[in-house]
Structure 1
Amino acid sequence: MYDEPEKILMLYKDRDKSEKLIRDMKEGTEIRPIRHWNKWAIIGHLVIIFLTNCLINLTLYLADKPVVKNVKLLKKYLNNLTLTVVYPKNRFRFTVLANISQEIKSILGDWIDKYKDKSLELRW
């Protein structure tokens, strides 16, 4: 057993990675107690949580300089975003993305500038 320290270290690192993945799934996506009796429903529930975690990590990976690394903090910033729909009298309705923080700008990048309403001054 002691003659293969590299193998022991590799097994420990693999176990550590899997434990971190499960911890991230529990903490970040706030996994709730699973109240299903069907085997496939439980597997489906865990697959959805895993895919959610993958999307979050992919978003953070693709961000230029991600300020937010904690999923709970990211969720807080995303919940603060507001899409406001304005209905001016005798005019067309338009939408404005509001409550944009610097952290959200660093994560979403140019997407916010690309899709925000730039003609707001002309409509009043």
Structure 2
Amino acid sequence: MDAPPNYADNHAYRMQASLSAEQQASGRASAELILAELAKVREEGGSGEFGRFSDERVEAALRRVGCGEKHGVSVGNGYYAVYTGVVCVSGRVTKDELTGEVHGVYAEPQPGEGPCVENRGGH
């Protein structure tokens, strides 16, 4: 099935920067550190509604591995996103799920959420 005319242009804001093999490797190393710290949050238990942990607990875990405001940290509803200065690491952390994906920054990220959060609207 063919895409509608101008589909690519109309969805360009969702594009992510491509990553070199070196950037991917750096991102994987960062993701391992982040996931190890977030695993501790899960091990401690105490999740709330829908198995989600408080944003404060997730943010505290990210701060413990050096991720702060300058890293475009975005946390909410079991989701997290961090900009390492090279790549994005984002995923979910809930009672039943812990994921981490390495990817490039978005061409037009969600306003106010850092470079690693997909824009939920459009341009």
The normalised TM-score by structure 2 is 0.26
Instruction: Write 1 or 2 for the structure with the bigger share of strand.
Output: 2
Greater helix fraction, Structure 1 or Structure 2: 1
Q: Which is higher, the Rg of structure 1 or of structure 2?
A: 1
**TM-score, normalised by the number of residues in structure 1:** 0.26
